[in-house]
Amino acid sequence: MSPTGPHGAGARTTRSAATSCPVTSPATRPSVTRPRVALVTGANKGIGRAVARQLGERGMRVYLGARDEERGRTAERELREGGLDARCLRLDVTDESTVGLAAKRIEEESGRLDVLVNNAGVGSSSHVPSRTSADEVRQTFETNVFGVVTVINALLPLLRRSDAGRIVNISSMLGSLTALADDRDPTGALPPGSLPPPTGYSTSKAALNALTVLYARELHEDGILVNAACPGFVATDINGGQGHLTPDQGARIPVLLATLPEGGRTATFIGSDGSPAGVELPW
C-alpha cells in the first residue's frame, strides 16, 4: 500500500464554505417507483466518483459530496451527460455547517437517504510513530474519523426513513490491527514484511473500523447495514498513481456493500481480492 493510503478520496488542503453547488435540472429516468437515494462523500474524483457513477448506473439518485465546488460541478455535469441523476453538494466533512446544509437539502429534495458512502479521506506521511507529530495524527483524524461521525449522525434521521439503509465506510488494509501486527497484507497486494508505516493514516482507519462495528451494533434493529470496505491498491491522486487497480475496480466492493439485499452482512470488513464477493479482512 502507498504510505498515504490506498484510495484517493478527496485529499483535503483547505476548508470550504457551507454552501451547495448550483443545481441543474435533474436527468429524467423513467421509473415506476421512486429512485433509491445515495450520498457519496469525496465524490468529485477517484474512487468516490467511480462509486457515484456505478450507483447511478443502478438507477439511484446520487448526491456528490464535494469540498471543491468546481470539481463537484464538473463531475455532476459529466455524470448527467451519461443520463444519470447526479446532484452536486458542497460538503466539507470537517465543517458541521456544510454537513447540516447537505442533510437539509437531501431531505427537501428526496425525503430520505438509502445509501451513505463515507469516502472522503486524507492520507498522512509514512513516518513511524516516534517521528510522527500529534498534530499530524490529529489532522488526519479530523477528516477520516471525526468527519465520518459528523456525517453519519447528521444523516441518520434520513437513513432511518429508508426501508433498506446502507452505510459503507471506506477503510484500508492498513487499518487492520491483525495485518499490522503480522506485517502481512491479507489481500496479497504486497509481499509479506512490506507494509508501510503511515502512523496517522493507519490509526485513523483502525478507529474508523471500530466505529463501523459500533454503528452496526446500534443500527441493527433499524435494519441499517454498516460495513467497512477496502478498495484495494488503487491508483489515485493521494498515492501518486502508484496502485495497480483503477478507480472503477476499486469501487466494486463499496458498491457491493451499498447494494446488499435485506438480511445482508453487517459489521464486516471486506476487501478486494478479485473474487465476486471479495474477501473478509481481519479487524
For the chain, the first-to-last Cα distance in angstroms comes to: 17
Residue of 231, 36, 57, 58 lying closest to 116 (CA atoms): 36
Cell of 214: 459500533
Q: Is 63 a catalytic residue?
A: no
Tell me phi and psi for residue 39, to 5 degrees.
-125, 125
**Strands, DSSP E only, in 2-126?**
37-40, 61-66, 86-90, 115-118
In one letter, which amino acid is 40? Answer: V
Tell me phi and psi for residue 37, to 5 degrees.
-120, 130
CA dist 132 and 128 (Å) reads 6
CA dist 174 and 142 (Å) reads 18
- DSSP codes joined into one string, 248-278: HHHTHHHHHHHTPPTT---S-EEE-SSSTT-
Cell of 53: 457513477
Residue of 110, 107, 55, 112 lying closest to 84 (CA atoms): 55
Q: Cβ contacts of residue 27 below 8 Å, gap of 6+?
A: 80, 83, 84, 85, 86
Choosing from 63, 141, 201, 283, which is the catalytic residue? 201
Q: Active-site residues: which are they?
A: 201
